[in-house]
């Protein structure tokens, strides 16, 4: 089950999981870290108790965790879970995590820890620009494709170039891997105006629940990749005096809406997704989902 941020994935995944008595694997690249509860809209304690969840709050903030590592761990876990459950729900909005399980990630060499530490230290000391320049030299093709403002993507590409001794772009085949289980993709969407209003209201709710305090507790660790995300970096800029508290909140809303638009653009390319518009009054949503899961 997938869709943009704020659409209502968590509620529906839990509802269906309770109906089927099955577990949920989170496909959210930030909910996997411990402590980022409010800012990532992680399932509540009550929700976690109602359905068994995996990949929620399971890693410390300092851990590096790639989509490739997620693929490996998720597939191992699915093999174990399918011994007891005919159906397992994967729920989230992290595009690369979902593709990792459903399609597979290209075989990329394991990055040496010392190399990773050296590049992270360069990033902390001098920022992203010298890393971009190295990537431009080692892999000009990927340099012209990647979002150069995304530290995670740029740093990972340089790591692979240096580790493999070959351009990252030459290792990306984008071939779909066979999976030993049937995959049904259910996508949730809403009318744009309603989705954006839900996002704005959710940010207000996060602020009321203590998002500012949560972010302030992470300020000393703001250089970590896990915290380079919407909902935290805006607060860090506020703490640094770059703009006011009100502007920080508005920017979280704006950046969240931008991310939702990016997610929808990505997902719309996948013809296998069966879309359900939650804005439409439809009392048969649950039955529609169940029918899709169990059709022959």
Please indicate, yes or no, whether residues 76 and 134 belong to a single structural domain of this protein.
no
User: Per-residue DSSP letters for 230-266?
Assistant: TTTHHHHHHHTTSS-HHHHHHHHHHHHHHHHHHHHHH
Q: What residues contact residue 285 under an 8 Å CB cut-off, 6+ apart?
A: 12, 276, 278
Report which listed range, 96-100, 107-111, 210-214, 228-232, is most confident: 210-214
Looking at residue 257, its pLDDT comes to 97
**Residue 91, SS3?**
strand
Kindly report the CA angle at 93 between 23 and 230, in degrees rounded to 5?
125
Please tell me the predicted confidence (pLDDT) of residue 174.
74
Mean pLDDT throughout 234-256?
97
Confidence check: pLDDT of 161 > 90: yes
Q: How much is the pLDDT for 138? A: 95
pTM confidence score: 0.82
CA atoms within 13 A on the CB side of 114: 0
Total count of domains within the chain? 2
Q: Are 85 and 71 within one domain?
A: yes
In this prediction, residue 251 has a pLDDT band, given cuts at 50, 70 and 90, of very high
* Residue 79 domain flag: yes
In a domain, 151, yes or no: yes
Looking at the domain assignment, is residue 64 inside a domain? yes
**What contacts 24+ positions apart, CB below 8 Å, involve 150-155?**
151/123, 151/225, 151/228, 152/225, 152/228, 154/128, 155/119, 155/120, 155/123, 155/128, 155/131, 155/225
Measured CA distances, 216 to 40, 141, 233 (Å): 15, 39, 11
Count of CB atoms situated within 10 Å of the CB of 24: 25
Domain that holds residue 141: 113-171
Residues 217 and 167 in one domain: no
184 found inside a domain: yes
Asked whether residue 23 falls in the same domain as residue 164, the answer is: no
**CATH code at position 122:** 1.10.20.140
For residue 1, tell me if it sits in a domain.
Answer: no
Q: Compute the distance between CA of residue 193 and CA of residue 199 in angstroms, rounded to an integer.
A: 10
- Sorting pLDDT into bands at 50, 70 and 90, what band is 296? low
- Residue 232's contacts (CB-CB under 8 Å, 6 or more residues apart) are 36, 39, 215, 218, 222
């Amino acid at each position: 089950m997938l869709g943009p941020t704020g659409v209502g994935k968590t509620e529906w995944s839990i509802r269906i999981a309770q109906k089927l008595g099955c577990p949920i694997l989170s496909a959210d690249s930030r909910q996997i870290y411990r402590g980022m509860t409010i800012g990532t809209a992680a399932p509540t304690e009550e929700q976690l108790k109602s359905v068994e969840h995996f990949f929620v709050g399971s890693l410390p903030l300092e851990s590096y965790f790639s989509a490739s590592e997620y693929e490996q761990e998720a597939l191992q876990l699915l093999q174990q879970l399918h011994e007891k459950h005919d159906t397992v729900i994967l729920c989230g909005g992290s595009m690369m995590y979902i593709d990792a399980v459903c399609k597979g990630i290209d075989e990329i060499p394991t990055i040496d820890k010392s190399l990773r530490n050296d590049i992270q230290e360069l990033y902390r000391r001098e920022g992203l620009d010298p890393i971009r320049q190295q990537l431009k030299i080692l892999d000009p093709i990927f340099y012209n494709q990647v979002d150069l403002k995304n530290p995670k993507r740029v740093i990972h590409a340089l790591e692979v170039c240096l580790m493999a001794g070959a351009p990252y772009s030459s290792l990306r085949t984008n071939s779909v891997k066979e999976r030993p289980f049937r995959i049904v993709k259910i996508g949730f969407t809403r009318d744009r105006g309603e989705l954006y209003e839900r996002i704005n209201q959710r940010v207000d709710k996060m602020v009321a629940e203590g998002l500012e305090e949560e972010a302030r507790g992470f300020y000393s660790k703001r250089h970590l990749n896990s915290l380079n995300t919407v909902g935290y970096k805006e607060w860090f800029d506020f703490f640094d005096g770059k703009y006011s508290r009100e502007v920080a909140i508005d920017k979280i809303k704006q950046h969240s809406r931008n991310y939702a638009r990016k997610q929808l653009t990505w997902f719309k390319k996948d013809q296998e997704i069966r879309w359900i518009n939650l804005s439409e009054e439809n009392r048969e949503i649950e039955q529609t989902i169940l029918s899709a899961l169990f059709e022959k």
